[in-house]
């Protein structure tokens, strides 16, 4: 994707490791829809707030059959420590090496800073981008956007 999250585009496939080093491949999760949540840094204030809000609203995603994958360029070890502290309840994936490869493929990698920007993508059961949002630095994403995107899949949560 040259531009971020154009609805109707095929979502780039990827494999990343979770907090235990287990590979997770996007295409293997089909036919379930997937919410990809890119974030800059584990343990940072806005990221913690956003991901805890997702955790606290996880039932909405689960009711709709949507799998949540949160992705950053942090190492799996940092993500594991953060997950143990916050108990998110969904997968945190490391885009550490090759550094930012997944974030690059979704157009959310900031090469100067070496981090993923705050972008979210809802991928439908066929692997097509249905919704996307990219927020500027320092601005959290809204749960209302996720609610509307999940509702548009046709499942009321």
Q: Would you name the residues annotated as active-site residues?
A: 47
Taking the C-alpha atoms of residue 25 and residue 154, their distance in angstroms, rounded to an integer, is 25
User: In 10 A of CB 2, how many CB atoms?
Assistant: 6
- The answer to whether 72 touches 95, Cβ cutoff 8 Å, is yes
Taking the C-alpha atoms of residue 78 and residue 3, their distance in angstroms, rounded to an integer, is 29
Q: Using CB atoms within 10 A of its CB, is residue 83 exposed (0-12), middle (13-18) or buried (19+)?
A: buried
């Amino acid at each position: 994707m040259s531009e971020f999250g154009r609805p109707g585009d095929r979502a780039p496939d990827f494999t990343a490791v979770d907090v235990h080093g287990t590979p997770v491949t996007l295409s293997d999760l089909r036919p379930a829809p997937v919410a990809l949540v890119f974030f800059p840094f584990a343990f940072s204030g806005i990221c913690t707030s956003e991901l805890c809000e997702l955790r606290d609203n996880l039932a909405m995603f689960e009711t709709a059959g949507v799998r949540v994958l949160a992705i950053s360029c942090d190492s799996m070890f940092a993500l594991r420590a953060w997950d143990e502290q916050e108990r998110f309840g969904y997968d945190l994936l490391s885009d550490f090496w090759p550094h930012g490869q997944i974030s690059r493929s979704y157009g959310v990698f900031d090469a100067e800073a070496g981090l993923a920007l705050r972008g979210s993508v809802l991928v439908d059961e066929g692997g097509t981008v249905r919704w996307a949002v990219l927020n500027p630095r320092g601005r959290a994403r809204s749960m209302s956007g996720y609610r509307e995107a999940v509702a548009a899949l046709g499942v009321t949560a």
